[in-house]
Amino acid sequence: MNKINYIIVAFSILILAGCNSFLDRSPISNANENIFYQTEEDFIVAVDAAYNSLYTLYGPESLPSFFGELMSDNAYSDNNVGNVKDYEAFDTHIGMDPSNSLVLSFWNDYYKSIFIINNILSKSSNVDFGSKMPLQAEVRFLRALYYFDMVRAWGDIPLVLTPLSVSEALKQPRTRQKEVYEAIIDDLKFAAGNLPDKARERFVGAANADAANTLLGKVYLTTGNKSEAEKTLKQVYKKFSLVPYADLWDTSKKNGAESIFEIQYKGGKANPYSSYWAMFSPLENKVLTAWGAGLNQASEDLWNSYEPEDIRRDLSIQNGYISSTDEFINVKYCIKWRDLDAELNNRREASDNNFIILRYADVLLMLTEATGDPAYLNEVRDRAGLPHYGDARYPSQYNTIALACEHERQVEFALEFHRWFDLIRTGRAISVLKNSLKNVTITEKQLLLPIPLEVVSQNPTIIVQNEAYL
């Protein structure tokens, strides 16, 4: 396994250790960093290395997983290992506070990844080579993706676009959300204008113009700019196609016609394998998997949200299992990343599943959200074999385009780290959570995570805590 080690000086001193899925080359150490960035090949190696951050930032125990899914009505946690209280705070919304160790870990993971990206951009600005603009566009896409996650989770955040010294980092205040979104949009426009489309991406899984436009469309929706969202998403419309739903989760059909941006994993304990199946399987089942972490278990609310004829339910969720003592265990769990042939790495399956961050169904449903036209949504329902919105057989409880989009996104992207982000974007998070089986009452201020206590303590006159946690 290759490791890329940098001294991270933005808000803490951290070490990044990367895996070699996107990169199988010599490591870059802090000691030789200044002499490393000389040639085009050097920058290709560095940019490839930057993709390793996706393994951490979109892994099963990541901010998108816990904030994007576990905090919603879709999922709950059975985890009983580690600091259980901190996991439960994401699940129940009770006891979330600035000392939460997961919140600090997520914050540090994002900033150390952004530091590496900023360093590449800074070093490349002083060197001329043929692929300079496309390589800068790749890492600017990643930076936009990461800041988009952060600004939705924390609100105002320090916006760092250049490498900082320790003293500079300690003086960096939080930046208003509006300015953070402006920087995200700028990065994505640059990426869309300087990257090839998906069909010509630099390597399988690389950032591409279609991914940049898809993410930009979602950013516009999040900021309430539906006209720009429509314009941007239509640049991607019809360039991809929906595949059979089961194919999305088939390890022999990775990077299919629906995939726009997908994290690349390779099964086997000697490789950068995925662990979604091991971590999302039922707690200590020892039948389905060697162990089972019990994270992000499917809720009854999610199970009941599927229409009776929806093929996606049984391709997404398993309703219980038989234990080693022939007892039926009534727990619902995600099977999208099931890998029955995975090699074991101690008590964890070293699985071969990729993880899709952006896919074409998302483009279609966002287009309906942006335009109010159900035709795009109905394309997704066609794949699921369900009646169209507007048909007499369509479920009457989803009697507006907004509710229809909310329902379709819940079942289409079940447990794929979308749900809580979606509900916050549409202003429905508080109501849906209260009316779910979680039955939790939260305020709008609690839709944001606390700034980590360690960060506020290091910068008490600079960093102000989010209001819900004062």
Using CA atoms, how far apart are residues 218 and 138, in angstroms rounded to an integer?
Answer: 18
**CA–CA gap between residue 434 and residue 437 (Å, rounded):** 8
- Alpha-carbon torsion, ordered 297, 299, 302, 307, to 10 deg: 110
290 CB-side CA count, 13 A = 14
Q: Where are the alpha helices (DSSP H) in 284-355?
A: 300-305, 312-316
The answer, as to whether pTM is greater than 0.95, is: no
Q: Which residues contact 225 (CB under 8 A, 6 or more apart)?
A: none
Of 115, 135, 113, which is closest to residue 125 (Cα–Cα)?
135
Which of 224, 226, 201 has the alpha carbon at shortest distance from 212?
Answer: 201
Distance CA 399, CA 55 (A): 39
The residues, ordered by sequence, that sit 6+ positions from 84 with a Cβ below 8 Å of its Cβ are: none
Tell me, what amino acid is at 274? Answer: S
Interatomic CA distance for residues 256 and 258, integer angstroms: 5
Write out residues in the chain with pLDDT < 50, as ranges.
Answer: 1-31
Q: Are 187 and 144 in contact (CB under 8 A)?
A: yes
Classify residue 237 by burial, with Cβ atoms within 10 Å: 0-12, 13-18, 19+. middle
**Quick one: pLDDT at residue 32?**
58
* Residue 214, H or E segment: helix 209-222
Q: CA-to-CA distance for 223 and 183, rounded, in angstroms?
A: 13
Structure tokens at 409: 């996104």
Structure tokens belonging to residue 335: 């099977």
Number of H helices, E strands in the chain: 20, 8
Q: At what angle do helices 40-50 and 132-154 cross, to 10 degrees?
A: 20
Residue 9: Cβ within 10 Å count: 19
Tell me the C-alpha distance between 393 and 397, whole Å. 11
Helix%, strand%, coil% for the chain, nearest 5: 45, 10, 45
Q: How far is it, in rounded angstroms, from Cα 387 to Cα 379? A: 10
Three-state secondary structure call for residue 331: strand
- The structure tokens 């924390």 sit at 154
CA distance 137 to 120: 11
- pLDDT digit string (tens) for 270-290? 999 999 999 999 999 999 999
Place of tokens 């916050």: 424
Tokens 């979308």 correspond to what residue?
418
Q: Which two tokens stand for residue 380?
A: 């997704």
Taking the CA atoms of the chain, what radius of gyration do you get in angstroms? 22
* pLDDT of 449: 98
